[in-house]
Structure 1
Amino acid sequence: MSKRRITQETFDAAVRENMEEFEMDPDEALREAVEQFESQGVDLSCIVKVVPAASSDDNQEEQTHEVLQALESLRIGSDTAALPDATADIKCFTEQCSLGFAQRYLAAQKGAYPVILSYCKKSVEERDCALAGLSALAALTDGQPDLLDKEGQQFLVDVLQKYQADSSVTCVAICAVRHCCIKHEQNRQDLVKGGMLPLLTCAIMRHSGCAVLVKEASWALRAMTFDDDVRATFGHAHEHAKSIVLEHNGLKILIEAAKAHLSNTSALSELCATLSRLAVRNEFCQDICDLGGLKFMMTLLADSYESPELVRQVLSAIRAIAGNDDVKDTVVNAGGVDLIVIAMNRHINNPAVCEQACACLSVLALRKPNNCKVIVENGGVIAAVQAMKIHPGSVNVQKQACMLIRNLVARMRNYCQQILELGAEALICQAVQTHEDCGDIGKAALRDLGCKVELRELWTGKHGSITN
């Protein structure tokens, strides 16, 4: 059941009433209003929970939120003030939007987008002003991709073409692109048609030494491969991934960029995440391997095992490219199983790492009896069982561990007793009972382990007459 919503004006009126009628101080009045509405089941996620400030002319009757004060100043000065004179207002607006989604939502509701886009277009010839305008646009569209229109799409393409040599402007413009592409299929398709993909890949090549820009552009490329807009019946995620690889040499560009930032775990994590999104075809998986990507990831896993986020993303990338059966063997022959198990044991208390490690081992074991032998001998099962014990509430850890056990014994029944002696049966039964999503794979694992399992009959196949 969806929660009730109220307007900002209704919330502010309640705060004001608490102050005027009940003589509460501002903090108490605000706290009381929040508690009152939350007790009534009202969703306050889009409400600015701050006492409105007095307007700039000190008129106490005209109180409003700072983000709206900055917006009003921009609106008033849009036709009269010179661009440098509006810099303070545009920066104040950006700072307010960066405080939280509620501020951005309120600004958008009061018509901020056309004001900010107008400022951006007027300031495009002045580098510092253009940077300030793009920062405001990026902040405003964070979580609000629906704001972007055709005019805005064309502006982003134009400004990236104009400022190709400027890393700062390019980085902020790409940030705005990313914000407008998350959970918005139409924006993705329109921007790709408008020539955005080569602008992103060229930005990575041109500014390969700038870790912040490389990370931002990689993130934007990854956003182009998302299928996260529930309003879209069909997405172009696969087509965009293919285009990035085949038409814009994306795999080589990303791998070379990663090699240039060996000490930046944040950038490396994002590059690995993007590579995993591009491994959508068997030949792409092999290409990543041939370009040195797999070797690079294995080195990262060995040298950067202290960073759980980087380990998680590297494991996710190896899992993706190991969809290719030849790459599976390459990973195992290069000592990958040992590295994965070490990483999982090192971060055994991190459910995200355990999930990806189990998933990675599960993929390596699929249809590969020899790989199963290596996984068992290198302690993969012991680590997976330990992860199940430590993270009983994590459905993803439980599911991937069950999948790993099932893949190990599906073709190698001689490992059943060894795995059962580790206590796998009780853990799998617990996972099946606790997590609905573990039902099918958990029961399959129990069945292949030789355990007694009750399989529910979905259809009895009873005969009956057919009537016209």
Structure 2
Amino acid sequence: MGPPKPGRKISQQAFDEMVKENMEDLGMDSTEALQDAIQTLTLQGVDLSGIITCTPGESNPVMECLDKLKQLNENWSDRNQAKDENAVNEIVELLVELNDMCKDKGSGNAAIATKNGGIELVISVCTKIRAGFDRGLVTGLKTIASLLHDLQSTEIFRESGGPNIVVDILCDGRQDVSILDSGFSVVAAASTGNEVIKESFMELKIDELIVQTLKEHNGGSIPNAYNAICILLTSDDNRVVASQVFGYARKFAKLGIAEVLVDSLQEGINSLSLVSASIALKAVAVNDEICRSVANHGGLDAILHCIDNSGVQCNNTVAIACCSLLSKLAGSDVNKCAIVEKKGMDRLIKLSSRFSDDPSVLQEVMSTISILCLRSPENAACAIESGAGDLAIQAMQRFPDSDQLQRISCFMIRNLVVRNPENRTLLLGNGIEALLRKAKGSHKSCKNAATDALRDLGLDNYNL
């Protein structure tokens, strides 16, 4: 008999009864009874997420908070809804408390709150206090975002009319960056892993709202607008065979999002906004036309400038994000030529020298160079002149245990030599064969890439 299938559910009542039986029938104390129930059910493959695992008689802080908030919410409906600062202050304090408990996804508190009506309750609170109570609304939106942690919670959000309510709040609060940022955090959280909610938001024209928001406000003050773009354009729902996110990216592009995001890069207010804008722009750049439009709006100059600055400031996070974006844009052959003309190879090699001890940056640099050299012998020759061959050799020597870096090195070497026989002689003379064979033998993930590189170096025994 095989192990029980994971994911079986149990009700709170059944769990509590099991603990009670342990105490009454087996004579266990409360703590022992609780631990035995948890251990037994876990071994049986029962999903205990959302179950309150307190000893009998012990209160749960999430439930206490929800009970108080529910009472205030019910009382609010009986009042004349004129401004009542005391009531709102009390609601805000409870929302802050609930948010603090649930934003730590590893605590299990979000699951408990969700299972006990937390999402519906906080949505109801937000609809009631949205007029004239901005602080409470911002806190409520943040709390909703912290409660949205899995498919079940996002479905509850959808069934509760969440997308419509949030979009209405965003439209009404377009002049308040705090409301906008917290509202877009809900858009991102709700859309994660849920294609149906992505579609709902797009039908509500969230793309137009995001673009208009970034045009009207400093994007750095609304980082969750960038996050919302990324999530809306990410195919992450395994229930769906064919995601619509490619079409959504094209809709964003037609609205001028490329130009807006390039402006964000050029402003470069802080590293967080730079990284967020770069990731968002990468998500948007899904075809050659969009990649070229980014370049036409000055995107390549902006990205290369950010790459230069990241080296000077030793900011590896910005360096990685910008190199990754440059790689995506280099998928366009027109952009490849433009990047090289703008001394892109030299600037990438300079960046690698500043981060010679950071394999994560070196990986992105070599990945970008590899794409720039793909199907372009002129660029491969330029890369060798800039020092790409030396970079590959030094990186492979310095980080022999990094399978990703070794694999990317193999890809770059292949693109440097496949159409450039003169580069083969140079790299072989500098000992690249031994490094490739070592990578091939040491890392399973490098086997095919190293074999291809050895073959394109012109070696007859490349399969050995």
TM-score (norm 1): 0.84
Deviations 1:10-56 (A, max 9, x none): 69988xx89x98889x9xx89x88996899697999579x9859xxx
Q: Deviations over 1:167-187 (max 9, x none)?
A: 111110000101111222111
CA deviations on 1:290-334 (whole Å, 9 max, x unpaired) are 211111111111122111010001101111111111211111121
Matched with 1:462 is: none
1:80 matched residue in structure 2: 75
Aligned pair in 2 of structure 1 residues 110, 389: CA closer, same or farther (>3 Å)?
A: farther
* Letter of the structure 1 residue corresponding to residue 97 of structure 2: C
Q: CA deviation at 1:432?
A: 3.2
C-alpha distance in structure 2 between counterparts of 1:256 and 1:235, whole Å: 29
* Separation (CA, whole Å) in 2 of partners of 1:131 and 1:283: 38
Partner of 1:423: 431
**Per-residue deviation at 1:428?**
2.5
Are the structure 2 counterparts of residues 318 and 70 from structure 1 closer, same or farther at C-alpha, using a change threshold of 3 Å? same
Aligned to 1:282: 288
Pairing 1:426-437 to 2, within 5 Å after superposition: 426-437=434-445
User: Given the superposition, is the C-alpha separation of residues 412 and 42 from structure 1 closer, same or farther in structure 2, using an over 3 Å criterion?
Assistant: same
Counterpart in the other structure of 1:359? 367
How much does 1:130 deviate? Answer: 1.8
1:336 maps onto 2:344 in alignment: yes
1:466 maps to which residue?
none
- Equivalence for 2:156: 147
Secondary structure of the 1:63 match is coil
Cα distance in 2 between the residues matched to 1:352 and 1:52 = 44
Deviation digits for residues 365-418 of structure 1 (CA, Å, limit 9, x no counterpart): 112112111211221122123323344444432222111111111101221132
Candidates 151, 156, 166, aligned match of 1:156: 166
Q: 1:39 to 1:390 in 2, by over 3 A?
A: farther
Single out whichever of 442-451 and 311-320 deviates more from structure 2.
442-451
The C-alpha deviation readout for 1:312-370, integer Å capped at 9, x for no partner, is 01101111111111211111121111111122232233333222111100011112112
1:91 to 88, 93, 96: 96
CA distance in structure 1 between the partners assigned to 2:117 and 2:102 by the alignment: 14
Aligned to 1:212: 221
Among 378, 386, 393, the residue aligned to 2:386: 378
Amino acid of the structure 2 residue aligned with 1:332: V
- Aligned residue for 2:415, secondary structure, equals helix
Which one is further off, 117-126 or 402-411?
117-126
Counterpart of 2:208 in structure 1 is 198
> Which residue is equivalent to 1:402?
410
Q: Distance in 2 between matches of 1:427 and 1:46?
A: 49
AA partner of residue 253 (structure 2): V
Question: Which of these residues, 66, 70, 75, is aligned with residue 65 of structure 2?
Answer: 70
Aligned mates of 2:129, 2:376 — CA distance in 1? 60
Counterpart of 2:84 in structure 1 is none
The residue that corresponds to 2:262 in the other structure is 255
Aligned with 1:235: secondary structure? Answer: coil
Is 1:177 the equivalent of 2:187?
yes
Whether 1:313 and 2:321 are equivalent positions in the alignment is yes
Question: Matched residues, percent identical?
Answer: 21
Change (3 A) 1:187 1:426: farther
CA distance in 2, matches of 1:43, 1:443: 46
Residue 423 of structure 1, CA deviation: 3.4
Residue pair 1:141, 1:147 contacting (<8 A) in 2 also: no
**Residues of 2 paired with 1:46 and 1:393: CA distance?**
38
1:129-140 aligned at under 5 Å gives the runs: 129-140=136-147
Larger relative helix fraction: 2
Deviates more, 1:267-276 or 1:390-399: 390-399
CA distance in 2, matches of 1:442, 1:153: 49
| Counterpart Cα distance in 1 of 2:320 and 2:355 | 10
Q: Does 1:266 align with 2:272?
A: yes
**If the length of structure 2 is used for normalisation, what is the TM-score?**
0.84
Preserved contact between residue 70 and residue 89 of structure 1 (Cα < 8 Å): yes
Range 416-425 or range 227-236, more displaced: 416-425
Name which of 113, 119, 124 aligns with 1:107: 113
AA aligned opposite 1:93: L
Matched residues in 1 for 2:48 and 2:456: separation?
Answer: 47
CA distance in 1, matches of 2:319, 2:17: 46
Q: Give, in whole Å, the separation in 2 of the partners of 1:445 and 1:41.
A: 50
| Structure 2 contact 177–221 (Cα < 8 Å) conserved | no
Is the CA contact (8 Å cut-off) linking 2:10 and 2:48 kept in structure 1? Answer: no
